[in-house]
Amino acid sequence: MPIESTISTPLPSGVQPSTVITLLHNHETYIRTTCPQLITYRRISGPPAHAPAGEPCVFEVTDRRPMGQTTYKLTLTNHTEGIDSLVVGKAPTGSMVIKTRWRVRGDTGRLEEEIEIDSNMITKKLVKSNIEKGHPEYHRSLLAEATRV
């Protein structure tokens, strides 16, 4: 059974929700923001960056890890209020699936990320802890970029 978490960050004063959504829909920006240890990425299938809502785009991403590197599949699907992300990879303890739903809530003025992690129990807890520590910074980086647009 997957475990879940939610991260919510207020939009900075003066930042329009549409600006944040546009940044989320820019797959290069999304990948560079959410993969700070990025080595390489390449599109495997789907439409090019700035894909229309509802059309999944699959990437192969390689990140640095404390002991080497890891390569995984990342599927990004744009939605009118944000983006969905699906990571399918392998951990030393087995397979791992991370689903996130990033939504810009204009009514509440917040960027909300809902996370679902499926793996073995030990990996789920470790990944959840890492996400809850790291993803608030991803939100801040993305929103800082939105203030510059």
Q: What would the pLDDT profile of 70-123 be if each residue is shown by its tens digit?
A: 999 999 999 999 999 999 998 777 789 999 999 999 899 999 999 999 999 888
Closest listed residue to residue 22, CA positions, set 146, 148, 147: 146
What pLDDT, on the 0 to 100 scale, is given for residue 49?
60
Classify domain 3-148 by CATH architecture. Answer: 2-Layer Sandwich (3.30)
pTM (whole model) above 0.75: yes
What pLDDT, on the 0 to 100 scale, is given for residue 64?
93
Alpha helices in 27-92 (DSSP H): 27-34
What pLDDT, on the 0 to 100 scale, is given for residue 51?
62
Cβ pair 21, 127 in contact under 8 A: no
What pLDDT, on the 0 to 100 scale, is given for residue 66?
79
Look at strands 38-45 and 110-118 and give their pairing. Answer: unpaired
For the segment 13-26, what is each residue's pLDDT rounded down to a tens digit?
999 999 999 999 99
